[in-house]
Structure 1
Amino acid sequence: MEEAAPHPKPPDKPAAPPTAAIHVASSTTSRAWNKYFSSLFTSPTPSNQPFFIIKPTTFMGEPFIKFSRADILEFSSKSPYALVGKFSRSKPPMNKVRSSLATFDFKGHYQVGLLDYKHIIIEFGLEEDYVRLFSKSIWVVAGSPMRIFKWSYDFDPRVEQPVVPIWIALPLLPYVFFNKKKPYFPLPT
């Protein structure tokens, strides 16, 4: 009599759900790669900041997570160089948007994400790349015009953002006034 093969033992832990990927590009290597979404929230060096977990609750029978205003401001302060691109007509496919942005020769890394059917978010690692893209109000991306807006934590795609870049030239300003740590003429950013 043949012995039946034993049933496989159920795993102790359920398998981890698949991880979402976000596109990250680096012009220094002139190639693009996928980076796991969860790794965006981990620090490359050990951090002394406490890690906290927000427990979901329910609202009207649906899962619900509530963030305090302080949490939102803290999260948004970690993305100081983020811009929103708005396609007024139709947004090209994301792979064409990414390949078109790769031709812009950004000096640092950047991340591209989808906000909705008309808006993308671009987060830069270097202020220089951020200023370069923000300095021109309309760019042609994958053959479609894309308007640029400053991202903020309260961004609403239904409302046009009133924030625009303004550059002020002070051609004869003495060098001693160019102190980045303690400016003599603080300007709002």
Structure 2
Amino acid sequence: MASLANGIRHLPGYLDRAAQEHLVELVRGVVAEAPLYVPEMPGTGKPMSVRMTNCGSLGWVTDKERGYRYQSTHPGTGNPWPSIPRELLDLWEKLSGYSKPPEACLVNFYSDDAKMGLHQDKDEIDLEAPVVSVSLGSSCLFRVGGLSRKDPTGSFRLSSGDVVVLGGEGRLAFHGVDRIYPGTSTLLKNGGRINLTLRRVNR
């Protein structure tokens, strides 16, 4: 386990291959019930390069008109989000150090050319709870900085089965994905990367 500044933890290879394969099957079940969609930037409506969905009592969504928010239903189907799988709730209990369960699990799918600009996870009311992030599939270059967009940043590689916890002072650190490394994993038969992000929204 690598300890990073400001309460950010990187746990390389935390999930073995069997656990990763099981999570992929669980994600397929979530996607079957709550299909992947393309989120839009607030104001401009510009499509993001990732496709996403959610599971849990709440899901994070964004569109041109209403911007970043959490809501209880899928923006395309209007149906409630599927439940968070027990295996992910157990992971939260082991790693978060937080007494309340997560309410949202974001499922982001990165194709080989997708990326995610530097951003803070700050749409939650409860900022005492950490964010627990799981990488599945192709490796990526993960960039993390400080509490200001102008702070220096550093980057490191995230591989399939790695877990990152953003907690403490690092809970609001700017972070993003610079690039995907195609062909670095055989977990997903068509390539790409899945990122699962567990979050507590309300106090």
What is the TM-score of this pair, normalised by structure 1?
Answer: 0.25
The structure with the largest alpha-carbon Rg is 1
Higher RCO, 1 vs 2 (CA within 8 Å, ≥6 residues apart): 2
What is the TM-score of this pair, normalised by structure 2?
Answer: 0.24
Q: Specify which structure has the higher proportion of strand.
A: 2
